[in-house]
Amino acid sequence: MFFIIKKHDTCDAPIKAKEELVFHVGFRQFVARPIFSTDDLNSDKHKMERFLHAGCFSVASIYALISFPPHPLIVLKSTGGAAPAVASFGSLRSVDPDRIILKKTVLTGPVEVYTKCGHHGRIKEPVGTHGAMKYTFNGILQQHDTVCMSLYKRAYPRTQVPNS
């Protein structure tokens, strides 16, 4: 399920992605670990955010029982032994299994590359400033072969196991 949420003005503590929060959706209450993402209307792919930023709306993604929009939402955060405080508010946006959330990865060190014909290799050194580089492969490349490098991976919310 996807919720449009905004951080409450009284909440000063940072809200991290995959942090355990208490969700009040309509008449339901449950604990979940949401991941946050941007809400781009022009794209079908959305960038994952590591924190819920103050003053702007984000999309929180969780696994939960299906509800119909627009249910109101209140999110509580418990800190230590204190009573839970309001962390954010919003509403149910949609229940869409086709929404893609991408997590950005930062490349450091030698990066593994591969080709569509099955060869593997590494980047030796950059050439210029426009993305050209020299590679070392485990075999001879053919003219029609394509070099590939994975830069983004798909992110999923964690499933919450009910306490028994």
List beta partners, residue 130. none
What whole-number distance in Å separates Cα of residue 50 and Cα of residue 150? 20
Residue 164 pLDDT > 50:
no
Residue 48 pLDDT > 80:
yes
List the domain boundaries for the chain: 2-104, 112-151
Residue 160 pLDDT > 70:
no
pLDDT digits (tens, 9 = 90+) for 92-140: 888 888 888 888 776 666 778 888 888 888 888 878 777 777 888 888 8
pTM above 0.85, yes or no: no
DSSP 51: B
What whole-number distance in Å separates Cα of residue 49 and Cα of residue 87? 17
What whole-number distance in Å separates Cα of residue 21 and Cα of residue 110? 38
Maximum Cα interatomic distance, the chain, rounded to a whole number of Å: 65
Do the Cβ atoms of 145 and 117 come closer than 8 Å? yes
Contacts of 137 (CB under 8 A, 6+ apart): 115, 119, 120, 121
Pairing assessment for the beta strands 72-77 and 21-25 based on DSSP bridges = antiparallel
**Residue 46, pLDDT score:** 86
DSSP 160: P
CATH class of 2-104: mainly beta
